[in-house]
Structure 1
Amino acid sequence: MPDSAEVFDLTSLRVPIVVAPMAGGPSTPALVIAAAQAEAVGFLAAGYKSVNALAGEIDEVVASGVDAYGVNLFVPGGPARDLGAVLRYREELEPVARRYNVEVGHVVEFDDDAYADKVDLVISRRVPLVSFTFGLPGESVVDRLHGAGIAAVATVADPIDAKAAAAQGVDALCVQGFEAGGHRATLSTTAEPSQTSTIELVREVAELVDIPIIAAGGIATGAHVDAALAAGAVAVQLGTALLDSAEAGTKPTHRAALRNSRFTETVVTRAFSGRPARALRNEFTDRYSPLAPAEYPQLHHLTSPLRSAAALAGDPEFLNLWAGTSFRDSDFGPAAEIIARIWSQTAAARGLGS
């Protein structure tokens, strides 16, 4: 079985930037390919996709000649703990459904997002990097990945979870601070996310583990990258900074909201999916954050048709506008140019050649 020296080495990146997996549309093969053009590493987001759809995206990336890329998997939890709470929340959502003349989504007691089949797929395709969110892969999955020469990355938002992940033998940690947009990387649905900043969390985790750290959360400028590397990260992850890039699959309504002066702050809410996630504050977050039970993916399925209808209507007030705290630094343009600009700023700050 290969050891860690035989799998992808994140410390070898000339441009130590990772493009975040962003489920629900923003992550595309084109974005991964653009990252490679900038000598960075991009991730496909397997969440909410069928196995066949994910296979097609992997094929597209490989066919382009990219040999350094990753896939992110959602680790499933258990069935709903309180279906009554889910049903009550469904009733609360009816006014939004009537607004768009659609039905609230069906109640789904359990959904594993085809996790086992997706693990089999990434192993059969020998994807260089596989990361895990919402849970840890377990030693048996890590061993299987290593057996195929694949590096395993665990996404964590807490020092205790970081130690647990390292003990399972993962090759690197994606350490997510409170500034991060989208879903927080808590390992349980009910856990409340930490308020620790990305830089401070990287420092704390670096003292506890001896494996590479990718810093994630609020990173959108060269100064942010410089601070994260100085704190002990070997690379940084860009997500929100690339939401408006040309290659991202971000919905037009979402793109426009990032530039709309109407939206001035982000909030962490369970309203859209049941898991805590950072989004632009809008009418939906104001109305439903206090009502949302900690039931994922049940709430995701309930709100899915509402979010789709809001996007179709061009209505940002009822759409999940995932965004980190540095959303104002996101920019439109080719992703490779955005990455190159951020790295050039970093290199200048660190006295390096770009």
Structure 2
Amino acid sequence: MSSALTDLCRYPIVQAPMAGGASCPRLVSAVCDAGGLGFLAAGYKTADGMYQEIKQVRGLTARPFGVNLFMPQPGQADAAAVEVYRNQLAGESAWYETALGDPAAGRDDGYDAKLAILFEDPVPVVSFTFGCPTRETLDSFARVGTFTVVTVTSPEEALAARQAGAHAVCVQGVEAGGHQGTHRDDPAADGAGTGLLSLVAAVRETVPLPIVAAGGLMRGSQIAAVLAAGAEAAQLGTAFLVCPESGAHPLHKSAMTDPLFVRTELTRAFSGRPARGLVNRFIREHGRYAPAAYPEVHHMTSTLRKAAAQAGDPQGMALWAGQGHRLARDLPAARLVEVLNAELEASVAALAPRAAS
């Protein structure tokens, strides 16, 4: 690992920021205390909600941790396409006996207010998803001593992150669960993402920044593979989602290894942006019709997702998951960090004799 990342955690294991509740203070602090780097997800929270969770983490651990921000989305979605999808979801609204959410509920996720808090009361690490901040923003974080990471899905995005002054990049392969962190949402590119190992190698040859690799990683042997490919650390989300400290809904946790859910798929059905989740009824019935309209679709389906969870119906929930979801292990977060690191060390040791021969 690079010295900057080494200072943040004992092991090259990063717990991914999972917006929607999974990345709660208990999970983050447990990962940090065990030697990994935990991340709070500020996405979908108010600025004060983010700050309250930061205070909770500080009360639970003295170790460095990170906060992830969603970048504001430029422009407006096609209102006609959003209205067509609203009509498509009318049956869901009737089934769950709840009104659809307001698609115009906001596009910036409270970004400026969150920045103001993080400049005033800095945290060790801040990462960004759905775009790259301005140089002014990244320079401001550097001045207050915050290490910055920009999520990228291509060498071109990595180059933009370097030019803007990011300290590191989180390279996200197409295998990753949850939203693809592309800087520009291009419907023509749906399904055209790059696998993690190939992407890490390509980014390594494009920019000299430290790389955190993310995308379906569930075992220490996979962490060893991305480190060998040029990453300094590995970021895991689905692996930590099922931990008892995770704030994910119990139905979401159990679905990871439920034989009823056999595969994942990139879909716009729940948010209007490509995101990988377990294929359920909602995705099968609505995925093909969902427009490229984030966060409008996210706001519109939010009430449906909550109602489905309250009704105990995983077929109407956004069950975000990486491609390795069936390898999920129901372990306490600290124990999972220990097991992953032991597997990593065993894999590195096994490869050492081959390298020497």
TM-score, normalized by the shorter chain, greater than 0.5: yes
Match of 2:16 among 6, 15, 20: 20
Match for residue 51 of structure 1?
47
Q: 1:185 aligns with which of 157, 160, 181?
A: 181
1:235 aligned residue (233, 236, 243): 233
Question: In 2, are the aligned partners of 1:26 and 1:250 still within 8 Å (CA)?
Answer: yes
1:61 matched to 2:57? The reply is yes
- Cα 1:145/1:323, change in 2 over 3 Å: same
Moved more, 77-86 or 267-276: 77-86
Distance in 1 between residues matched to 2:107 and 2:343, nearest whole Å? 43
Range with bigger deviation, 192-201 or 225-234 = 192-201
- Asked whether the equivalents of residues 240 and 333 of structure 2 are also in contact (C-alpha less than 8 Å), the reply is yes
Partner residue, 1:137? 133
Contact 1:78 1:110 in 2 (8 A): no
Q: Is the 8 A contact 1:189 1:295 kept in 2?
A: no
| Unaligned runs of at least 5 residues, structure 2 | 351-357
Q: Distance in 1 between matches of 2:26 and 2:240?
A: 12
The aligned residue for residue 253 of structure 2 is 255
Q: CA deviation at 1:122?
A: 1.4
1:74 is aligned to 70
Residue 79 of structure 1 and its aligned partner are, at CA, apart by: 3.7
Residue 354 of structure 2 corresponds to: none
Letter in 2 for 1:314: G
2:316 corresponding residue in structure 1: 318
Alpha carbons 1:77, 1:188 under 8 Å: kept:
no
Q: Is the 8 A contact 1:87 1:107 kept in 2?
A: no
> Which sections of structure 1, spanning at least 5 residues, go unmatched?
none
Query: Deviation digits for residues 3-30 of structure 1, max 9, x if unmatched?
Result: xx9xx91144430111000000101011
Match runs of 1:132-281 below 5 Å: 132-191=128-187, 192=189, 194-281=192-279
Shift of 1:259: 2.1
What is the one-letter code of the residue matched to 1:107?
P
Equivalent residue number for residue 114 of structure 1 = 110
TM-score, normalization by structure 2? 0.94
Normalised by the size of structure 1, how large is the TM-score? 0.95
Secondary structure of the 2:289 match is coil
Structure 1 runs of 4+ aligned residues shifted over 3 Å read none
Distance 1:58 1:241 in 2: 23
Aligned residues: 346
The CA RMSD measured in Å over matched residues stands at 1.4
Q: One-letter code of the match for 2:292? A: A
For the residue of structure 1 that corresponds to 2:18, the secondary structure is: coil
The equivalent residue for 2:353 is none
What is the CA–CA distance in structure 1 between the aligned matches of 2:103 and 2:75, rounded to whole Å?
A: 12
Q: How far 1:109 moved relative to its partner? A: 6.6
CA deviations 1:183-218 (Å, max 9, x no partner) are 001112335354311111001100111110000001
CA–CA separation in structure 1 for the residues paired with 2:222 and 2:62: 27
1:66 & 1:217 partners in 2: Cα distance? 28
What is the SS of the residue equivalent to 2:329?
Answer: coil
Match of 1:127 in 2: 123
| Aligned 8 A contact 1:272 1:299 in 2 | yes
